[in-house]
Amino acid sequence: MATAWLLLPGVTAPIIGASKLPHLEDAVAALNVKLTSGDLRALEELYQPHPVLGI
């Protein structure tokens, strides 16, 4: 679910660190996850944006 959220417009560079084949398979499976508006509300409810560093 988290990877599917990162694939939505607005995130330009999700970083997937797969050290085992099942991790990669899970990441690819996120392409088929369709998040509902309720899912998005639940995920974004506690999210706190952070400033970009190093610029």
Cα 20 from Cα 47, distance rounded (Å): 28
Give the range of the structural domain holding residue 25, as residue numbers without chain letter: 2-10+21-45
For the entire predicted model, the pTM comes to 0.53
Instruction: Report the pLDDT value the prediction gives residue 11, as an integer from 0 to 100.
Output: 67
The vertex-49 CA angle with 44 and 51, nearest 5°, equals 165
Asked whether residue 51 is assigned to any structural domain, the reply reads: no
Cα 55 from Cα 45, distance rounded (Å): 28
Distance from CA of residue 45 to its chain's centroid? 15
Instruction: Report the pLDDT value the prediction gives residue 48, as an integer from 0 to 100.
Output: 85
Q: How confident is the model at residue 32 (pLDDT cuts 50, 70, 90)?
A: very high
Asked whether residue 55 is assigned to any structural domain, the reply reads: no
Asked whether residue 16 is assigned to any structural domain, the reply reads: no
Asked whether residue 53 is assigned to any structural domain, the reply reads: no
Asked whether residue 54 is assigned to any structural domain, the reply reads: no
The tally of domains found in the chain comes to: 1
What the block records as the tokens of 51 is 């400033």
Asked whether residue 15 is assigned to any structural domain, the reply reads: no
State the average pLDDT for the chain.
83
Asked whether residue 28 is assigned to any structural domain, the reply reads: yes
Burial (Cβ within 10 Å: 0-12, 13-18, ≥19) of residue 7:
middle
